[in-house]
Chains A and B, each alone.
Chain A
Amino acid sequence: MSILRTCLASLTTIFVSMHSVFAQEAPVTPPDTAIELYVDADFTLNAPSAAAIELGIRSALHLSGDRIAGQPVRLIRRDHAGNVRRSHQTLQEAAENPNVLAVFGGLHSPPYLQHGSDVNASGLPLLLPWSAAGALTRLSSGDSNFIFRLSVDDTKATKFLITEAVDEGGCKAPALLLLDTGWGHFAHDKMMAELDAKGIRPAHIGFITVGLGRVSAKAIANEVVRSKADCAIMLANAGEGSLITEALAQTATGKLDLYSHWGIASDDFSKSTSVAAREKLHLRVLQTCNVASHVSASDRLEEALAAARAVDPSRDLTDLSELPANVGFVHAFDLTRILIAAADQASFDDRWQEGIKSRRVALKEALEGLHAPVDGVMDLYAPPFAPSSAQEPDAHEALGTRHLCFAQFTPDGRLPWSIRTDAQ
């Protein structure tokens, strides 16, 4: 008996020691513990876009009973206020949080451009419903690429902008007005390449300082007018975009069409920009569109709106256009549905139970290889993502050029959701 006791004790000690050795990653969240999802967005400076994204996530989660893979889910809001470093901190925190399964990004790209490598290194899936920087999903590849996007990256957007302005709009001397950030500079390169390919030199290239004032906006507008540009292609946030739009409208004497990235739609642009200015410049805003082949899109949209009404009754959404920054809502809704589907799929993986890192890996892999298509508002994703590689630079891009279109503000300031019928 004593020998038996001694052996049992020894085994216990060994077990404990082994457990200690192997228990390097954080333990898996117990089933009754909520899985946490972070939404790292700019709830301060671009609150409507962040709110639309959050609503889209919550609406999608609502449709799944606020559960993922059978576990309750909790969405935690993190406001980086446009600060790369704060976002980085959030990502670090999330990576270290054993309950966090994935992080949703916000509108901005710089936080993830700056620290995307760290994200990939941490193995925390980062889901970007609206960030446009082209490099984001391509910072890494293979097993180490944990960044997924359901939006149109700027490589495609800028190309689309140039193509539409020059080819469709007949612009001969475009002025490029770009936010003076990494995003703006990245776009600058792409646009210049596109223009160069078309043999067009931009009449003016102006960089818009973040948080610029009215005087600076006026100075930029003057430069544009002096350059005799016949159109302007703008990459800016709502605040800066509104000032530039008004300044251009006041300064322009001749025809000056304005093509803008959806960055301005992230905020209450329409409220701070006069209808006259918008109409004078024939302001057209790039946005993603539903594709006409997606027959269930309207149903899915209604379903999403219903979920949104349930999640946030105060909005009482009946039409998507009533929602500011509705692109974010739709993208986030679809991306969340993809996440739910992927989590459900991954939960069957053994790694799902091994630890949070393993779970995240399982999720990543599930995202890259969903067995079943996911029916979203934008499209029927079948599948949305694939394992990334140098050969498949768009593997982590759920949308493509076919999802791009231009929309124009209604006089009452709404930006109607449109369906692109020519996209295939």
Chain B
Amino acid sequence: MNPARAIKVRFWLTVSTVCALAMALTGLSVWASARPFVEEIQERQITKVAENTVLQIYQSLQEHDLLMSFLAHQPELISVALGYDDNANIVRDYLEGLSAPASFEVVTLFDFMGNPLSRLDSLDKDHFRFSSEVEQSLIESTQSVFADQGSGQPRRPIAFYSDGDTGHFLISEPVQSGGAYQGAILAQIDINLATVLPKSDGLFPTRLIAPTPPANAGEGADDIAAGGPAPLSSVRPPEDVRVFNIPNFALDVIVTPNWAQLRSVSTRLVKESVLAIGISLLAPFLLLAWFGNRLLVKPHVLLAQQQKELSELASVARNANDAILMTGLDRRVMWVNPAFETLSGFSARSVIGQRPSTILQGAETDVSTIRAISEALRNYKPIKVEILNYNRLGDRYWISLSITTLFDTSGKPYGFMAISSDITEQKLQSQRFMAAQLEIEHQSLHDALTGLPNRRALRDALDARANDPEDSSVTLVRIDLDHFKFVNDTLGHAAGDHVLCEVARILKEETKQGEVAARIGGDEFILLMSRGYGVEAAEATARRMLKRIQEPMKFGDMTARVGASFGIATTSGGMISAAEINVAADEALYRAKDSGRNAICIYTEELHKESLIRRDLVSRLPKAIRDLEFVPHYQPQVNARTGEVVGVEVLSRWQLPGGEMLSPVAYLSIAKKVGLLGEVDSALFRRAIDELSRINSDRIHVPKVSFNVTAERLQDRKLLQYMRAFSQTSDIRIAFEILESVFVEEQSNSFMYHLDLLREAGVALQIDDFGSGHASIIGLMHARPDSLKIDQQLVIPVTQSETARSLLKSIVDIANALDIAVIAEGVETYDHVRILSEIGIDILQGYYFAKPMKAEDLIIYLKVDQAKRQCLK
């Protein structure tokens, strides 16, 4: 059971038990106390009833007794009693003279022996009167009582008898002389008992009896009323009756309570009292329970939970791995946990009463941190810091320290609690991590080889510059080394790297504060000019750099020479934006390259316009590819000897939506630059095949169709599959023209492998622009082409240059030796035809025969040619 529930259960059990106990005890107490109380009340009631009766009777008797006493002291009566006088009427004489009350029924003077001396009897004959025996008995009692006067104040003997409502009392008065008993006066008094006895309600029946007089103590049970018709006094009062003496008279009031009825009443009263008290107790207990639950249980439950939490916290604190330290408001240590001792090396005993700052902090502890802690403690604010501490041996360690103020339940602060954990290792790791981060950051932003900022760093710098609110103009110099590949190829990569490092050093040295020189590619660099420096400064810097770059660079025993092209662009003037500046500088760089290298080109407005056009074309390219805007133009190839059309070269023309037809020079380089050349070629290929298939169906046969293809396209497996299928279904011989430069640049096994696959698929391979590059003819032969097309730059001069003719002759000879057909393009005149035929060129192509033409024109051309031939036949 959880403590809260246990408390509640205990509370309710306690309240219920106490309530039940209280009710039970109250009931018992009431029962125990009320019964005597009720009995006491009953006794009081009995007493009251009896005392009232006693008083009534006493007053009645006393009234008569006084008269009796008066009589007894009259000398004349005394003389008669003494025997000095024999006046038998003395009583009557006296009473008549005294006008005695009517209740004095019979008054008799007796001598000392009980002999009647004088009697007044006013009763009727039939009226009750006491017998002489009763009189004698009473006289004896009177005499006896008189004799015992010295022993106290004895009760006067009296005889009593009741018949109905009338009580007959016989009272006596001794007659004395000189203190000696000389006789007695007896008087019978009749009293209406209804006036003196309480009305009977059944609870307290009351009656009178005259107890045994002392004079007859020897006889015991003798009764002065024994002579009466009903010897009442023979009734011994039992224990359950109450006897009340009538003062001065030996007469008792006997109350015989109806105990059964009284007990019933008292029991009912007590039961009702117990029930009422029980019910009235219930309300306070319910109130107590409610208040107790609110004021005791809930706080107690809360306290228990808090205690549990505190206990757990204390346990946690003791067993915590974190060091815990508690101080008073004076910041002196009151308590530490074992973890603190382990961490600090100080025992709890040694630090109690010390200030933590004194024992734990040292020379290298950060003062600002200490100040921050003090400030927080002064303001009772929580604080979390990392701070350097010193253990007992003086060794440093880092801790993560949390200090909170301890408040009592009234919200008053009474101390502080510091929780610290050893973060020395984390700190070291963090430092290492930070260093690594810095390194990574550095690496990410710098070129590993040269140490220059890399492309990313440059971009960041560009962004920062572009967002500079004061001056957002940016001037950029794009640098590309010339002939660097040659250095790599000839002197090795190490030399190349050395060159790059040297160039980087030059860039660093030539840049000023605020300028950024970055390496963004293999031999590409960019210089971001500092703020305020424009194109002129950039050009000056570029010239200084170019000069130094062009200087020979020593690498071991070797000397490397490279050049550099510079493209400069600036956003100043608003021609281009910062986002465009890199492209603009690149444009300028290409222009510098195109202008013969080791040049510096500035991105001018003219260049900007060209660029815009090119960009326009680039943006149109995808749509043009999709819409097959590239229109095949076919230029026939003629057998030099027979003049027969042996094939056509498919050339690309871009027919713009407005009808304008662009030459390949205008867009192929752009398509190549944006990576869409393959797409353009593919679109052109599909359209040409379609058109040629339609031409062949018209019974015009085109034996061979040549397409210019890029190296990438040659390795396209879809193209390969297509060609395999096409060769199975078409009689058109497909030839792929591959630029000589491709063979120079792509000599990988994969490339060769794909060439073989295409050859197997029936595709003829042809080297295009042969003689334009630096390819060795031996190397070309490895590709085993079906034919080679001599670059028109070699063909055109043949009409005027023997060297050219010799060169062509040599090429033809080698080709013939290798069984490779030779094609000459750029055949514009008849001389060209004649000379080239003489040299042994197999196939001729050029304006002399036909310009590139559309399919419909080709059909006409072929039909005319076919007609001419048939005519010739």
Contacts and interface: CB of A to CB of B under 8 A. Distances in A.
Contact of B113 (A85, A110, A181, A211): A85
A355 interface: no
B75 A110 contact: no
Contact of A84 (B82, B179, B180): B82
Given A110-B83, A110-B84, A210-B82, A82 B180 contact: yes
19 contacts: A44-B179, A45-B179, A81-B178, A82-B82, A83-B81, A84-B82, A84-B83, A87-B83, A89-B113, A110-B82, A110-B84, A111-B83, A114-B84, A181-B79, A210-B75, A210-B78, A210-B82, A210-B177, A211-B78
B75 A85 contact: no
A181 B82 CA distance: 10
A82 B112 contact: no
A338 B177 CA distance: 34
A89 B112 CA distance: 10
Contact of B75 (A44, A86, A88, A211): A211
Given A180-B79, A211-B178, 7 more contacts: A81-B177, A83-B111, A86-B112, A210-B75, A210-B78, A210-B79, A210-B178
B182 interface: yes
Given A83-B83, A85-B82, A114-B84, A239 B75 contact: no
Interface string A80-124: 011111111100000000000000000000110010000000000
Given A85-B112, A209-B75, A210-B78, A44 B83 contact: no
Interface residues of A, number: 21
A45 B113 contact: no
A103 to B, nearest CB: 17
Contacts of B81: 83, 85
A160 to B, nearest CB: 25
A81 B143 CA distance: 14
Contacts of B79: 180-181, 210
Contacts of B75: 180, 209-211
B181 interface: yes
Contact of A45 (B78, B83, B180): B180
B644 to A, nearest CB: 206
Interface string A34-54: 000000000011000000000
A182 B181 CA distance: 20
Interface string B84-95: 100000000000
Given A209-B75, A211-B75, A211-B78, A85 B179 contact: no
A86 B182 CA distance: 8
A86 B177 CA distance: 13
A87 B82 CA distance: 10
B78 A81 contact: no
B108 to A, nearest CB: 15
B180 A83 contact: yes
A55 B846 CA distance: 213
Contacts of B115: 85
Contacts of A88: 83
A44 B180 CA distance: 7
Contacts of A44: 178-180
Contacts of A89: 113
Nearest to A210: B177
Interface string A159-181: 00000000000000000000011
Interface in B279-293: none
B42 to A, nearest CB: 50
Interface in B60-82: 75, 78-79, 81-82
Q: How large is the interface on B (under 10, 10 to 19, 20 to 34, 35 or more residues)?
A: 10 to 19
A284 B78 CA distance: 30
Interface in A1-57: 44-45
Interface in A152-201: 180-182
Nearest to A267: B178
B177 A82 contact: yes
A45 B112 CA distance: 15
A182 B177 contact: no
A204 B153 CA distance: 43
Contacts of A181: 79, 84
Nearest to B86: A114
Contacts of B113: 85-86, 89
Interface string A47-89: 0000000000000000000000000000000000111111111
A44 B113 CA distance: 17
Contact of A182 (B84, B182, B183): B84
A18 to B, nearest CB: 38
B71 to A, nearest CB: 15
Tell which of B81, B113, B178 has the most Cβ of chain A within 10 Å: B178
Contacts of B84: 84, 110, 114, 181-182, 210
Nearest to A181: B84
Contacts of B111: 83, 85
Contacts of A110: 82-84
Contacts of A211: 75, 78, 177-178
A82 B181 CA distance: 10
For the complex of A and B, the 8 pairs showing the least CB-CB separation, nearest first, are A84-B83, A81-B180, A45-B178, A85-B83, A44-B180, A85-B111, A209-B75, A83-B182
A216 B75 CA distance: 12
A45 to B, nearest CB: 4
A27 to B, nearest CB: 28
Nearest to B113: A89
Interface in B74-132: 75, 78-79, 81-84, 111-113, 115
Nearest to A216: B75
Nearest to A209: B75
Nearest to A88: B83
B438 to A, nearest CB: 143
Nearest to A185: B84
Nearest to A212: B75
A81 to B, nearest CB: 4
Given A111-B83, A181-B84, A210-B78, A83 B177 contact: yes
Contacts of B112: 81, 83, 85-86
B179 A83 contact: no
Interface string B172-191: 00000111111100000000
Contacts of B179: 44-45
A114 B83 contact: yes
Contacts of B83: 83-88, 110-111, 114
Contacts of A239: 178
A232 B113 CA distance: 38
Nearest to B82: A83
A111 B75 CA distance: 17
Contacts of B177: 45, 81-83, 210-211
A241 to B, nearest CB: 13
Nearest to B176: A211
A180 B84 CA distance: 10
Most buried by B among A44, A88, A211: A211
Contacts of A86: 83, 112-113, 182
A20 B157 CA distance: 47
B69 to A, nearest CB: 15
Contacts of B178: 44-45, 81-82, 210-211, 239
A25 to B, nearest CB: 26
Nearest to A180: B75
B75 to A, nearest CB: 5
Contacts of A209: 75
A42 to B, nearest CB: 8
A324 to B, nearest CB: 17
B387 to A, nearest CB: 121
A114 to B, nearest CB: 6
A211 B113 CA distance: 21
Q: B79, B82, B180 — which one has the most chain A CB atoms within 10 A of its CB?
A: B82
B94 to A, nearest CB: 16
Contacts of A83: 81-83, 111-112, 177, 180, 182-183
Contacts of B181: 81
A209 B77 CA distance: 12
